[in-house]
Structure formats: structure tokens, C-alpha cells
Structure 1
Amino acid sequence: MSAINLFTAEEQQQIIQAIRAAEMETSGEVRVHLELLCPEPNVMDRAVQVFRQLGMEQTAQRNGVLFYLATDDRKFAILGDEGIDKVVPKDFWETTKNIMRDNFRQGRFTDGFCLGIERAGQQLRQYFPRLENDSNELSDEISH
């Protein structure tokens, strides 16, 4: 079984649509990555590995945001690259995680992701508005 199976095809499309909507008015990039198990003791260490594997540190303005979930381990992380991380409010990632966690605890994984992605998109739009020559630098598909 794969972690992607936590979501129906329709739910996957909802998450992808949330990513596309978040990226619509920003040069920032958002990715979602799912795994069954987190191979690292510290979920943030694994998020950093996945961030690099997906090439997210290669965005022009270092404004990528990764949402990582290990479904069977019930671990998740949000990792913003250095460009976005230095401009968002200090507690932004933690408050976003709390909103997502509340939804996850109620079994609303799709809602949790969509709300987290929407919040990240608001910050990205504020600090990294879409440029005239902007291109989608990274895939919007859910990786797993």
C-alpha cells in the first residue's frame, strides 16, 4: 500500500487544486509529499531530505514550501525555504501546523492540507507576488 491511498482520486485533485490556487498569484512553489513511514527519528530531518530530493531549494527566490506527511507514523512537517521562512511571522509555521493537526485529528486530511496550503499561499502572495515572467518551477502533483 502507498501513502497516497489515504486520499481518493477526488481528494488528491482537491489538494492539487489548492496548490494551483496558492501559486496563482505568487512566484512561490508549494509541494505535498506523502510516505507511509518516516525513516528518520526527527520528522523535520526527513522533511529537509525530501525538500532537497524534490529540488525545492532550487527555486529562484528560495520560496518553496513543503508539506510532508508520514501517514502510518502520524508525523507531519511544514518546511519553508530560507526566502519565505525569514519573512513570515515567527509563529506562522507552528500555527499553520496546529490548524492542520486539528483537522487531521478529526480525520479531515484533505481539509487540513487545503487549509495549510491556503495559508502558505497567502503569505507567499504577500511577500513574493507573481512576476510577469513567472513560470511554475516545480510540479503541483503530490509526490510519494
Structure 2
Amino acid sequence: MLITKENIELLKKEIEAVESKTSGEVRIIIRKKKPFFQKMKPIKEIAESEFINLKMQDTKRRNGVLLYICEHERQFQIVADIGVNSIVQVTYWNELAVSVSKYFQHEEYFSGLKYLVNQVGNLLAKYFPNEENNQNELSNDIIIQ
């Protein structure tokens, strides 16, 4: 496993903290390896499918972001909904991926994920600030598969 159970709880609290500043939603999936029937699929396609399975496209402002990590393949994908991608340039996601990759290359998975959650949270807070009566639309639980 990339990170400990204790660190998973810390990441969940980190998600709660960043979501308190935004109407956006952040989810994390950490998968040990690609499912057998998806071995040939690119990670981007798998992550986009998981985004839909989690109903992240159903948020009020279309401002959900999924952080999908596939441990065995040493790959990760950031999937943002249309509300976010209509504002944020692809270069931002590419630069963020490069920064996170540096953490992962040094096997600093918890630090990399924490950094990623905070960067995404800052972005969401900038463009989708917290609103009055804002409700948490999606679970903050981190999915481990």
C-alpha cells in the first residue's frame, strides 16, 4: 500500500479542510492495480469512468475533481469536471502532474497526495469560493481498491 491507514485519515481531513473553502468537491481513489478487464485501457479512460461511476458530474457547479492513483502501474490521473476545465488551462494540470510526480519518484506518496489535494483545493477556492448554505455533495472518503 502506498500510504498508511493513518495517512488516509489525514488525507480525508485535508479534503474536508480544502472543501470548507470552496463549493468544489475532491475525491481520491487509490487502486492497487488495474482490474483484469481494464488492463489494456489507458489510465485516463479508467479514471474518467470512475469519475462517472462516483457521479462526480452531478455536482451543482460541475466542479468536482478526482485524483486517481494506480499503484502497481505507478500512474495517476487528475480528472476535473467541465466547470473546472472551462476555466483552467490544460497546462496547469500538466504542471501539477509534473510536481506530484517528483514526490512519487521519491516514494513520498503521502506528501505528494497532500500537496495535490491542497493545490486542487486552492484552485477550487479561487474559482469556486464557498457559498452560503454550501453542502458537501460527495463523500470525502478515500476509496482503496
* TM-score, normalised by the number of residues in structure 1: 0.92
Q: Which residue in the other structure is 1:45 paired with?
A: 45
Alignment of 1:26-45 (within 5 A): 26-38=22-34, 39=38, 40-45=40-45
User: How far does residue 91 in structure 1 lie from its aligned partner after superposition?
Assistant: 1.0
Contact map agreement 1:14 1:110 (CA 8 A) in 2: no
CA distance in 2, matches of 1:139, 1:118: 17
CA distance in 2, matches of 1:77, 1:120: 13
CA distance in 2, matches of 1:115, 1:103: 9
- Is the counterpart of residue 104 in structure 1 residue 100 in structure 2? no
CA distance in 2, matches of 1:23, 1:137: 10
CA distance in 1, matches of 2:137, 2:82: 17
Q: Which residue in the other structure is 2:88 paired with?
A: 88
Alignment gaps of 5+ in structure 1: none
- Is the counterpart of residue 9 in structure 1 residue 9 in structure 2? no
CA distance in 2, matches of 1:99, 1:21: 22
CA distance in 2, matches of 1:92, 1:28: 17
Give me the identity figure in percent: 31
Query: Superposition RMSD on alpha carbons, in Å?
Result: 1.1
Matched AA of 2:143 = S
Alignment gaps of 5+ in structure 2: none
Report Cα offsets for 1:30-73 as digits up to 9, x if no partner.
00001122225211100111101111010000000000011011
CA distance in 2, matches of 1:96, 1:21: 20
User: How far does residue 18 in structure 1 lie from its aligned partner after superposition?
Assistant: 1.7
Distance 1:90 1:73, change over 3 A: closer
CA distance in 1, matches of 2:143, 2:57: 16
User: How far does residue 24 in structure 1 lie from its aligned partner after superposition?
Assistant: 1.1
Q: Which deviates more, 38-47 or 92-101?
A: 38-47
Q: Which residue in the other structure is 2:123 paired with?
A: 123
Q: Which residue in the other structure is 2:76 paired with?
A: 76
Matched AA of 1:68 = Y
